[in-house]
């Protein structure tokens, strides 16, 4: 089974693209959602977060995302620390999930595939590229954040152009290019590659 990574900056359209793969029958692992869930359910991870970020990291309702975001989005070292704590747990969880799938290929969607080391465990990486002004507008509309807040988050990620150079395939998500046909073409390619891989490994 082929393992495909799907990445892109905040608001690039990763999740939108991932949903299209799902409609084509492909299992998708949403690493960012999984990480948030694991922060609430994995006791070892919870313990580590409390050790480094304090008891305020959790309320009676679970992870105190507002509190953690206020710390990590204003401090690069703290963001790296939180990522260093959560990524190994998420990668382990993804590996367990992948081993349970039965499909020609799976897609793992994550904002930080290269930065977390997750890319090493994947066969090919697809990047979703959207111009910065589109990304800012999309996230402002979706999350109600200010342009300044979004720019601050963007500035913490690897430069988008550089990230796309690291990808094996790039989907362009802008006002002039349709996304759906690009995903269909890749799906066809990955199914062919998966078949070739299955034949050569017999
Ligand atoms: P994040 O990293 O913040 O989770 P993302 O890369 O997963 O973002 P999406 O959530 O897929 O991005 O897209 C951001 C917003 O833009 C969403 O509200 C989505 O519906 C919208 N959007 C993205 N691409 C398109 C498109 N091609 N057509 C219409 N709406 C789109």
Q: What is the pLDDT of residues 181-199, one digit of tens each?
A: 999 999 999 999 999 987 7
How many Å lie between the centroid of ligand 1 and the Cα of residue 127?
14
Instruction: Classify domain 1-27+104-202 by CATH number.
Output: 3.40.50.300
| HSE-up of residue 193 (Cα within 13 Å, Cβ side) | 14
8 phi, psi to nearest 5 deg: 160, 165
pLDDT of residue 202: 60
The answer on pLDDT for 124 being more than 70 is yes
Tell me which residue of 79, 80, 59, 61 sits closest to 69, measured CA to CA: 79
Sorted by where each begins, the domain ranges of the chain are 1-27+104-202, 33-100
pLDDT of residue 158: 76
Give the atom of ligand 1 at the shortest distance from the alpha carbon of 179: 27
39 vs 91: CA distance, rounded Å? 13
pLDDT of residue 135: 92
pTM: 0.90
- Determine the residue of 10, 11, 28 to mutate for testing ligand 1's pocket, defined as the one with the most ligand atoms within 8 A of the Cβ atom: 11
Residue 128: strand pairing partners: 171
The answer on pLDDT for 156 being more than 90 is no
Residues with CB under 6 A from ligand 1: 8, 10-16, 111, 138-139, 142, 173, 179
Return the CATH number of 33-100, one of 3.40.50.300, 3.30.200.20, 3.40.50.720, 3.10.560.10: 3.40.50.300
**Range name among 44-58, 64-78, 98-112 with the lowest pLDDT average:** 64-78
- Mean pLDDT, residues 120-136: 94
């Amino acid at each position: 089974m082929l393992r495909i990574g799907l990445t892109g900056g905040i608001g690039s359209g990763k999740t939108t693209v991932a949903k299209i793969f799902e409609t084509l029958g492909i299992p998708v692992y949403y690493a960012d959602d999984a990480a948030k869930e694991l922060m609430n359910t994995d006791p070892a991870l919870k313990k580590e977060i409390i050790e480094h970020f304090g008891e305020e990291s959790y309320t009676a309702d679970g992870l105190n995302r507002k509190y953690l975001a206020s710390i990590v989005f204003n401090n690069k070292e703290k963001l790296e620390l939180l990522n260093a704590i959560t990524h190994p747990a998420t990668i382990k969880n993804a590996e367990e999930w992948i081993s349970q799938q039965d499909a020609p290929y799976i897609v793992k969607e994550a904002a930080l595939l290269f930065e977390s080391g997750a890319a090493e465990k994947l066969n090919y990486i697809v990047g979703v590229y959207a111009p910065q002004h589109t990304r800012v507008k999309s996230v402002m509309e979706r999350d109600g954040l200010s342009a300044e807040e979004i720019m601050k988050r963007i500035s913490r990620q690897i430069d988008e152009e550089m990230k796309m150079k690291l990808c094996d395939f790039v989907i362009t998500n802008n006002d002039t290019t349709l996304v759906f046909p690009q995903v269909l073409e890749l799906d066809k390619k990955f199914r062919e590659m998966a078949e070739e891989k299955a034949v050569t490994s017999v």
